Amino acid sequence: MERRKFTRFLAQNDAYAALRRDFSKAGRIYDISLNGLAFKYFAESERNETFDRVDVFLSNSEFHLPEIQCRVVYNVREPGSDGYSLSQFRCGLKFEHIKEENRNKLEIFINNHTTGVSKP
């Protein structure tokens, strides 16, 4: 049963997320809502790190929303990753304490830079 309160939308191919601190986890956004997002990134191994800010941006620099407060809900190795060298991971984030200005920018992003509704 779907527990999400907000509809998730599939992001354009040029939409990215980067977790703050050293940007060691950055990758293409899979889906996004006003409540959070999921993105995929490559890494050698899973590291247990704490992150509390994420940047959302387009590769062409048309959109950049820095330092959205968030928490990591999950961070899992994608099926099919062989565990050698680089593996693909999927990371789910929940936005927290979003200021109205940032919520408005997220709405603009969802309205202009997504391709449709994500299926659960």
Domains and CATH numbers, the chain: 22-114 (2.40.10.220)
Decide if pLDDT at 95 tops 90: yes
Decide if pLDDT at 113 tops 70: yes
Overall pTM surpassing 0.85 (yes/no)? yes
Q: What are phi and psi of 110, to 5 degrees?
A: -65, -40
Residue 99, CA distances (Å) to 8, 21, 115 in order = 20, 21, 25
